[in-house]
Structures are given as C-alpha cells and as structure tokens.
Amino acid sequence: MQLNLFAPIVKKAPTLVLTNIEFLCLKMHAHPGRPARWYLRELHRYRFGTPGSGSWNALYFSPRGIYRGNLFTDHAPKDRSARGLLTKRCSSVGEFCLLPRGIEKAKLAAAKIGIDL
C-alpha cells in the first residue's frame, strides 16, 4: 500500500444550522446590551471557528440597514457628535437590544436548534 503524501488535507467544515441574522438575534437575546463589534466577533467565531476583528458583516448593524430598527435597536446614550457634525449625535459604544420582532426571530432560531428560551 502506497501513501500519497501530496493529497490535500481537507478539514470537514462544521454543519451550520442557523443563518447569520438568526445567530445574531439568538446572541442578543442571551447577551443584551453588548456593542456591535462583540456580536460580529461571535458571529465570525460561529462561522469560521476563530474570533474575527469585529468588522466582518458589519452591514447588519448599519443605521440604514433593514435589521436595525426592525429586529434590534441601539439603547446607548448619544453623548458625542457624529464625525465632526455638530447637529447629529451618536454613541461612542453601542448597546444593542432586541425589539419584539427580534425576540420572535430568536425564539424561532432556538427552536431550530432544539433549545427553549
């Protein structure tokens, strides 16, 4: 029997059950009030097994995105001006919490993987 030393070693990817937004809603339900970067690092860890920088898939937390204000919202105090603008205020670190539609999505995601909320 001859061993092929040049055959590529392929790791089996884990079976991922939840979509990105389902995972984010489930994480926000379990850990409310964290900044967006924390949730994005956890999402990267779920997808690839390693913590990311916190900027991967940041579109989920975009102020003009379809999820912010629909599934979750930022409850942090608006204590500084936004990038040199004197009229618009923003927070230095976000505190994201789920809205009722986000809680329903988190419950559906939990049922999908077989846990109770």
Q: Is residue 12 part of a domain?
A: no
Q: Is residue 74 part of a domain?
A: yes
Q: Is residue 69 part of a domain?
A: yes
Cβ count near 82 (within 10 Å): 13
Q: Is residue 92 part of a domain?
A: yes
Q: Is residue 13 part of a domain?
A: no
Residue 33 pLDDT more than 70? yes
Q: What is the pLDDT of residues 38-90, one digit of tens each?
A: 999 999 898 888 877 777 788 888 888 889 889 998 877 666 666 666 666 66
Task: Write out the two tokens for 44.
Answer: 């990267």
Q: What is the pLDDT of residue 31?
A: 92
Q: What is the pLDDT of residue 28?
A: 93
Q: Is residue 14 part of a domain?
A: no
Number of domains in the chain: 1
For residue 90, list its beta bridge partners. Answer: 80
Q: Is residue 84 part of a domain?
A: yes
Q: What is the pLDDT of residue 14?
A: 57
Say which residue, 24 or 58, is predicted with more confidence.
24
Q: What is the pLDDT of residue 56?
A: 77
CATH of the domain at 59: 1.10.10
Whole-angstrom distance, CA of residue 67 vs CA of residue 107: 16
Q: Is residue 8 part of a domain?
A: no
The whole-model pTM stands at 0.76
Q: Which residue has the tokens 């559906």?
A: 108
Percent residues over pLDDT 90 in the chain: 31
For residue 81, list its beta bridge partners. Answer: 89
Provide the CA 99 distance to its chain's centre, in angstroms: 15
- Mean of per-residue pLDDT scores for the chain: 80
Domain housing 109: 20-113
